[in-house]
Amino acid sequence: EVQLVESGGGLVQPGGSLRLSCAASGFTFSSYAMSWVRQAPGKGLEWVSGISGSGGSTYYADSVKGRFTISRDNSKNTLFLQMNSLRAEDTAVYYCAKDPFSTPMSSFDSWGQGTLVTVSS
C-alpha cells in the first residue's frame, strides 16, 4: 500500500524559511515523479512544484519560482520542499502527491494527509 507522510509544517514569520519532508513507502520511490500541491484555507488546489523520478528535472509554479526548491533523496525514499522568503499568501496545507510515471505529466494517483504551513507575524 502506498503511503505518503508529510512533516515539517508550522508557524513561521514572513520572510522566514521552512523545510517540508514527505516520507514515502509501499512503492519503488525512484521510479516515480513527485509533486507538492497546496491548498490555502477555504481555497482550491494549486500545484507548487514537481520533480522527476531521478531528481534530474525540477519544475515550479510561477508563484514560488526562485523561493522554493524541490529535491528528493531516493536512498531514503523522501521528498523535500525548501521554502524561503515565505509570504502570507504561502499559508496553506501542503500535500505531497505521487505521479504514475517517472516524469510529471499524467495525474496524482496518491496523496499524503498534508501538513499546514502558516506564515504570520
Partner 1 sequence: QSALTQPASVSGSPGQSITISCTGTSSDVGGYNYVSWYQQHPGKAPKLMIYDVTNRPSGVSNRFSGSKSGNTASLTISGLQAEDEADYYCSSYRSSSTLRVFGGGTKLTVL
User: Interface residues with partner 1 (CB under 8 A)?
Assistant: 35, 37, 44-47, 50, 59-62, 65, 95, 100, 104-114
Closest CA to 30 of 80, 75, 68: 75
CB of 13 vs partner 1, minimal distance in Å: 27
CB of 24 vs partner 1, minimal distance in Å: 15
C-alpha cell at 106: 499524467
CB of 111 vs partner 1, minimal distance in Å: 4
Fill in the DSSP letter of residue 65. Answer: T
| Cβ closest to partner 1, residue 52 vs residue 75 | 52
- The identity of residue 30, as a single letter, is S
Q: Output the DSSP codes for 10-44.
A: EEE-TT--EEEEEEEESS-GGGS-EEEEEE-TTS-
CB of 71 vs partner 1, minimal distance in Å: 17
| Cβ closest to partner 1, residue 38 vs residue 83 | 38
| Cβ closest to partner 1, residue 65 vs residue 76 | 65
HSE of 19, CA atoms in CB hemisphere, 13 A: 6
